[in-house]
Amino acid sequence: TQLLEQSPQFLSIQEGENLTVYCNSSSVFSSLQWYRQEPGEGPVLLVTVVTGGEVKKLKRLTFQFGDARKDSSLHITAAQPGDTGLYLCAGQAGGTSYGKLTFGQGTILTVHP
Amino acid sequence: GAGVSQSPSNKVTEKGKDVELRCDPISGHTALYWYRQRLGQGLEFLIYFQGNSAPDKSGLPSDRFSAERTGESVSTLTIQRTQQEDSAVYLCASSFSRSSGNTIYFGEGSWLTVV
């Protein structure tokens, strides 16, 4: 069974601060995805990383996939109150297991104005 | 519709009753997934359908859970003899195919409360 450990579980910061969320596993994933979920809604895909060492930027968000494709991080620069939400990482094993995403426990981010 | 549609959006049921949750995927999406999410937690894989292939049922937690899909359209998740630990949001998602380049789109979920 593949597991993804996501940390921290809760993050409460002031507007303008930087933060990093980590996602770690002992298993190799063919790709890793980051989602953001608002209350009462389903998760919405932010980014997919596929190549070991890959870095992708989405405005103030920077996503990195570890060289060994076992871990990933999400860094937010100058957080805004609009960034508040539940952030989820999810790994995809590929091959015959494709489609069966393994999710981390999630990070509840609160950005105070 | 434009997105993945799920119904009911909320369901309160008595312990021991059966419930059916419905998912209408995005038109043209051959892959359909069911996940369960407990309050404030990550998602737990339940079952995956891809076209006419045999579904991957490896995530179903017990034989009280079953799901069907008619062709490449609607899917129904059935929970028999519901228990309080079944209370959760049940999320359906679909994607164009199982290829790695395709985005998975989630519905808003069906909130199930077993009392």
Residue A101 DSSP label: P
The nearest CA of chain B is from the CA of A97 a distance in Å of 8
- The CATH-assigned architecture of domain B5-107 is Sandwich (2.60)
Chain A touched by B95 (CB under 8 Å): yes
Region A40-59 average pLDDT:
93
What CATH number does residue A78 fall under?
2.60.40.10
Q: Return the residue in B6, B24, B34, B43 with the most chain A beta carbons within 10 A, the one to mutate for interface testing.
A: B43
3-state class (DSSP) for residue A112:
strand
pLDDT at A14 over 90: yes
pLDDT at A92: 86
**Which residue from B50, B105, B106 is facing A99, i.e. has the nearest CB?**
B50
For residue B83 the two structure tokens come to 């228990």
At B15-40, the pLDDT tens digits run: 999 999 999 999 989 899 999 998 87
pLDDT per residue as tens digits for the range A60-97: 999 999 999 999 999 999 999 999 999 999 998 766 55
Query: pLDDT tens for residues B35-92?
Result: 999 887 789 999 999 888 889 999 999 999 999 998 878 999 999 999 999 999 999 9
Q: Are A72 and A90 in contact (CB under 8 A)?
A: no
Domain enclosing residue A9, as ranges? 5-112
Record: contact B107-A105, CB cut-off 8 A: no
By C-alpha distance, the chain A residue nearest B32 is: A99
Tell me the pLDDT band of A59, cut-offs 50, 70 and 90: very high
Strand partners, A42: none
Give the domain ranges of chain B: 5-107
Nearest to B31 among A6, A45, A99 (CB): A99
